[in-house]
Chains A and B, each alone.
Chain A
Amino acid sequence: MFSGFMLNAWESGTLVAVVAGIVGFFVVLRGSAFPAHAIPNGAFAGAAGANLIGVNPLLGLGLFSLLAALGIGTWGRKGRPDVVTALALVLMLALGAAFLSQSSAYEPEIYALLFGEILGVSSAQIVPLVALGFVCAIAIAVLYRPLLETSLMPDVAAAHGVNTTAVDTAFLIVVAMATTMTVPVVGALLIFTLMMGPPAAARSLSRRPSLALGLSVVIAVAVMWAAIASAYQWNWPVGFFVGTYSAVAYAIARGVSFRPRTRTRTLYTAHTH
């Protein structure tokens, strides 16, 4: 279980989980689940396009996820963000479908782009993974305070003169980077799962941001390790285990943290999101 190609799987899986735990924490905090779902799908189109013209898929992944991030960031402010995100998402996917229809990529390749092939990660793929992971971590470290302030206390952020728009865009770019590095490993659809389940679980366990962030990383890594081990054991796709274990982690966290809270009921208004 810990030899040869499996070693690559463990290493890349852990890296992906750490990055997903960190970036995902802010995704949950800021309520940007939809963009975080849309960007990896854009990346999928990029990979399909790169495949078609025969360049390095990382290039296509990077370019398209960046385009998706900037597009959602810019247009989202002009219209309704959720509508713009949805349309950007389907446009990217449609491009991906068109690229696929023109290329000779066959089933397993499409499957791998969408659902990942962590057990097939080569040593050469780990280098860009480490590099991009570092950049993401540094970017989050730099943005930490403004990100927290604009997510949790918008008024305070405004008083401090934080440029919300800039922070928003910067964050989406970080998501795009995290996506670029993770899609080849866990696939476009599942990176989102890792950015959602563990951080949401961590958030319901602790209200303190720093503690929740740490927990988020720990849970993400635990989910990833358990998933790899299970995939090795039962020979089912890693993605299935990542998905189920993430949901289970969230369910357990919600169960543990269930206590009567005095909470003012938020009104269900059409224009909040």
Chain B
Amino acid sequence: MKFLFAPGFTSSEPVHVALALGAMVAIVSALVGVFTVVRSQSFAGHALTDVAIAGGAGAGYLGVNALTGFVLGSLTGGVAMETIGVHRVRSRDVATGIVLGAATGCSALFFYLEANSGSTTGSTQRILFGSLFEVAPGTLPVVGLLGVVTVAALALIGRALLLSSVSPEMATVGGIATRSVGVIFMMTLAISVGLSSVAIGAILSTALLIGPAASALRVARTIRGAMVLACILGVVATSLGVLLAYDSYNWTSRHSPLPVSFFVVVIVVTTYALTYVPFLRRRATSGRS
């Protein structure tokens, strides 16, 4: 047991906070992720993380809470992308790219200003790659609340969203305002990206959003099943990531632990790769890959 759980794992408070936060974020990301993958909006989801970085960096410079920066940043990005035209498939790529590009420019500026103002060091790395072990316990309730709001919004629009993703014509005939549904989804996507940015870092939050959802969609037969499976995969990945990162402190003589996000991503990507192993995929229905 000592080999698996390094001393102090079960009694350390940062570990408890990391596990709880990781699980919450993983669940929200997995649920939003299923829709993101079904709607083929992975790029938008990823671009929002880059906008979130700009928000996080700006917040760091202004001395505001990073979570506020992440969430406000990605919400602004979502609105901008919708305005330029993510809703049209043809211009979606460009709209996303332009917003992403402008946002990275702003990140460059904020990081630079912050470094020059001589405040905390290491902010570039922390904002980009996250450090689940350094999250203040006070962040938990806020993340929990935002998570509940996101999931509730998703539950409200879920059916309409799914229909308008799979068959827009049917949705329109059925009286669904596909555009509004798309906008609301974009907002939930933005919030979930903001939340996961706190947990595993903005650049890597795409992993939690897309990975578990895509794997689940390849294996599960129904959307509901995929959502449940995605949540499980996400929670397992973050918990294992926390454990391995904690253990990795003892792996080298120099005691330089590997980041949590590194392990989370490796687990998530490995899981997705495993869904390509024919034996594991046998139960899957045909078609959707």
Contacts and interface: CB of A to CB of B under 8 A. Distances in A.
Interface of A: 28, 31-34, 37, 41, 78-80, 82-83, 85-87, 89-91, 93-95, 97-98, 100-102, 107-108, 110-111, 114-115, 187, 189-190, 192-193, 196-197, 200, 203, 236-237, 239-244, 246-247, 250, 266-273
Nearest to A82: B42
Given A102-B258, A237-B109, 6 more contacts: A41-B203, A79-B289, A107-B125, A190-B105, A196-B97, A270-B166
Interface in B78-99: 87-90, 92-94, 96-98
Given A33-B93, A192-B101, A192-B104, A114 B262 contact: no
Contact of A82 (B40, B109, B207): B40
B203 A93 contact: yes
B122 interface: yes
Given A97-B201, A197-B101, A200-B94, A189 B108 contact: yes
Interface in B148-189: 164-166, 168-169, 178
A54 B185 CA distance: 45
Interface string B199-213: 001011011001100
B45 interface: yes
B266 A91 contact: yes
How many chain B residues sit at the interface, stated as a range, is 35 or more
Interface in B249-289: 252, 256-259, 261-262, 264-266, 268-269, 272, 276, 289
Nearest to A247: B102
B219 interface: no
Contacts of B121: 107
A100 B94 contact: no
A31 B103 CA distance: 20
Nearest to A34: B43
23 contacts: A28-B93, A37-B100, A80-B289, A82-B40, A83-B42, A86-B42, A89-B206, A94-B262, A102-B258, A107-B125, A111-B124, A115-B107, A190-B101, A193-B100, A196-B97, A196-B98, A196-B100, A237-B109, A240-B105, A240-B106, A243-B102, A247-B98, A268-B178
B98 A250 contact: yes
Contacts of B124: 107, 110-111, 114
Contacts of B272: 83, 87
A200 B97 contact: yes
B246 interface: no
Contact of B210 (A87, A97, A240): A87
B97 to A, nearest CB: 4
A119 to B, nearest CB: 12
Interface of B: 37-43, 45-47, 50, 87-90, 92-94, 96-98, 100-109, 111-112, 115, 121-122, 124-125, 128-129, 164-166, 168-169, 178, 201, 203-204, 206-207, 210-211, 214, 218, 252, 256-259, 261-262, 264-266, 268-269, 272, 276, 289
Contacts of B265: 90-91, 93-94
Contacts of A78: 276, 289
Contacts of B115: 107-108, 111
B101 A246 contact: yes
Contacts of A242: 105
B42 A34 contact: yes
B108 to A, nearest CB: 3
A239 B104 contact: yes
A14 to B, nearest CB: 19
Contacts of A94: 204, 207, 261-262, 264-266
A97 B97 contact: no
Contacts of B43: 33-34, 37, 82, 85-86
A244 B105 contact: yes
A121 B121 CA distance: 25
A33 B81 CA distance: 14
B89 A273 contact: yes
